Structure 1
Amino acid sequence: MTSSILLTGGTGTLGRHVVPLLRGAGHDLRILSRQARPAAEGITYATGDLLADEGIEAAVDGAELVLHLAGSNKGDDEATRNLARAAARAGVRHLVTISVIGADQVPIGYFRAKLGAERAVEECGVPWTVLRAAQFHDLTLTAVRAMAKLPVLPAPGGLRLQPVDARDVAARLVELTGGEPAGRVADLAGPRVYPLAELARGYLRARGKRRPTLPVRVPGKAGRAYRAGDNLNLDADQGTRTWEEFLAERVN
C-alpha cells in the first residue's frame, strides 16, 4: 500500500535521488519549498519556510509520512523542531530524518544543530526513525575543489572521512520510509576511510594536476575530535560506491 508523503529538501542533493525512488514505489509526494513550483505527475509543492515556521501546518496536513531531508549550515535544530511540532499536531504516523555521524561527538556548530534536530524528532511524540550518514561524496567534492585551488594543498593531520554516495543514502531512506518507525538505525558510511588530503589528491589526479602538500594541524576541541575519529563509525553499514567511482563519473 502506498502513502501520501511530505518531503522536505526535495530539490537538494539527496532529494533529487529520493524523489524518483519514492515515485517509482507509487507514493504521492508533497514537497515543501520556499518558492512556488508547478505540480508534476504525482508531485505537488507546498510553499513554506521551516526556519521561519511559515506554511508548515498546511504542508503537513493530510500527510501520513514525513521525510525530512532539508538542512543548512545553521538553524537545523529550530527548523526541525518547527516541523516536528506540526507533524505531531497533524497526526503524522511516521517521521523520518537524516542526521550526521558524530552528531553527539564533534564539538562544532553544525554537529550540535544536527543533534538538536535529532532530539526534536525524538521528543515530538510522532513515531520516528533517524539515520545518521557520513559526509556525501558531493559535499566532499566541494571541499576538495576549494583545497585544490590553493597553490599548496593543505593536509590536515588526522582528519579522516568516510564519504558516502548520496544515491546509497537515498535508497536506504526510501527503505526506512516504507517501513515501521525504528528509532536510531545503524549509521551509513562509505566503503572506505580516507585522510582528507588523500581525497584531495585523488581529485587532483582525476583532473591531471599536481600540488605540493603542506601538513597543517586542526586546532582546539574540533581538531582533537577529528584526530580521535569522532566523526567516523567503523561499524556503520556501508554504501557501495567508492570515492574513486564517484570521481570517475563527475570529474573529467
Structure 2
Amino acid sequence: MRNDAIMVTGATGGLGREVLDRARRTGLPLRALTRRATLPDDQGVAWFTGDLATGTGLDEAFAGVRTVIHCATDIRHFKNDVPAFRHLLEAARRAGVEHVVNISIVGVDRIPYPYYRVKLEGERLLAASGIGWTNLRAAQFPELLDMAFGVLSKLPVVVVPSGTACQPVQRGDVADRLVELALGEPGKGEPPAGGWGRVPDLAGPTVYTADRLARDWLGAAGKRRRVLPLFIPGKIGAGFRSGALTAPDRAVGRGTWEEYLAENVARRR
C-alpha cells in the first residue's frame, strides 16, 4: 500500500477540526482517528475508530499513512498522554510512517507545571522514536483563556497570577502551520535545545499581562468583577513571571485576542 495519506489524531477536538479543514485542501488522502463507536459522516475524510490509550485499532488506521499530525490530548486525564503517545509511535513504526508532526506548548521546558511535564516527556519520546519528526510549540489558545475566565468569574474576584504575560494565538493559525509542516520533510527545524526536529515557536501578535486579559474578557462578557493579581510562589510561579509563556520574537499569528472576544465572548451576552 502506498504511504501518502495524512492522519490526524484528536480529530474531533477543537484544534483537530481546524487541522482537518485545512488538510482537505491538500488533495492528499486524509484520515482521522476517533474513539467514538459511531464514525462521523465526513466527506473527504476516512474515519477510523482507535484508542491511543490502549493501542487498539491503530494498525488498521495507520496502514498507508505517511504523516501523522498528532493533536490528541486528554487534559482532564493528562497522565494518559504519555502511554498514548508511546502506543502511537509504536503503531507508526509498524506501519512505516515517515513523519510525525506534534503540537506542544511554548515554555513547556521552563515551567514545571504537571501538564507541561507530560507534554515535555512526549517531546522526548518523539525525538527518540527513530521516526522523522517535527515538533511545534504554540502559545495559549484564546479558548483556554475563555474557559478559565468563565470559571473564575463565578466568584466576586477574578484571581490571576501576578507578573505573568501571555501571547494568545488563534487555533486556525496553528492549524495552518501544522499542515504546512506536514507537507514538508521532517527534521528541518533548528538544532538548539529541542533537536533538529523542533521548529520555531508560534505565538500571537500581541503580548498581554494576565490581568489585562482578564479585564478584556470581563468587558466583552459584560461582567463587573474585580481582578486581583496574586503572587504564585515556587518554581511554577517563577516560570510564569519569567515570560516563559510568550515568544515575542515569534509573534507571527494573525488572529488577535480582541477579534476572538468580539466573535465569541461578546456574542454570548
Q: 2:143 aligns to what?
A: 138
CA contact (8 A) 1:65 1:177 kept: yes
Matched ranges for 1:1-252 at <5 A: 3-36=4-37, 37-73=39-75, 74=78, 75-181=80-186, 182=188, 183-251=197-265, 252=267
Alpha-carbon distance change, 84 to 151 in structure 1, aligned in 2, over 3 angstroms: same
SS at match of 2:172: helix
SS at match of 2:122: helix
Per-residue deviation, 1:230: 2.1
SS at match of 1:40: coil
Alpha-carbon distance change, 70 to 227 in structure 1, aligned in 2, over 3 angstroms: same
For residues 44 and 102 of structure 2, the distance between their equivalents in structure 1, rounded to whole angstroms, comes to 22
Per-residue deviation, 1:57: 1.9
Per-residue deviation, 1:122: 1.1
Alignment-mate amino acid for residue 62 of structure 2: V
Superposed CA RMSD in Å reads 1.5
CA contact (8 A) 2:168 2:203 kept: yes
Per-residue deviation, 1:142: 0.6
Structure 2 alignment gaps of length 5 or more:
189-196
Alignment-mate amino acid for residue 56 of structure 1: L
CA contact (8 A) 1:160 1:194 kept: yes
Per-residue deviation, 1:3: 3.3
Runs ≥4 in structure 1, deviation > 4 angstroms? none
Per-residue deviation, 1:78: 2.1
Alignment-mate amino acid for residue 146 of structure 2: L
Alpha-carbon distance change, 12 to 177 in structure 1, aligned in 2, over 3 angstroms: same
Larger deviation, residues 142-151 vs 209-218: 209-218
For residues 160 and 45 of structure 2, the distance between their equivalents in structure 1, rounded to whole angstroms, comes to 45
For residues 170 and 24 of structure 2, the distance between their equivalents in structure 1, rounded to whole angstroms, comes to 20
CA contact (8 A) 1:130 1:184 kept: yes
Per-residue deviation, 1:39: 4.5
For residues 148 and 117 of structure 2, the distance between their equivalents in structure 1, rounded to whole angstroms, comes to 20
For residues 252 and 177 of structure 2, the distance between their equivalents in structure 1, rounded to whole angstroms, comes to 11
Per-residue deviation, 1:18: 1.1
SS at match of 2:14: coil
Q: C-alpha offsets along residues 95-128 of structure 1, whole Å, 9 cap, x if unaligned? A: 1110111111110111111111111111111111
Per-residue deviation, 1:207: 2.1
Q: C-alpha offsets along residues 1-59 of structure 1, whole Å, 9 cap, x if unaligned? A: x9311110111111111112111221222211111304432212111111222222221
The alignment's TM-score, normalised by the length of structure 1, stands at: 0.94
For residues 163 and 237 of structure 2, the distance between their equivalents in structure 1, rounded to whole angstroms, comes to 8
CA contact (8 A) 2:108 2:120 kept: yes
For residues 58 and 3 of structure 1, the distance between their equivalents in structure 2, rounded to whole angstroms, comes to 15
Alignment-mate amino acid for residue 135 of structure 1: Q
Per-residue deviation, 1:212: 1.9
Once the two structures are aligned, what percentage of the paired residues are identical? 47
Alignment-mate amino acid for residue 45 of structure 2: I
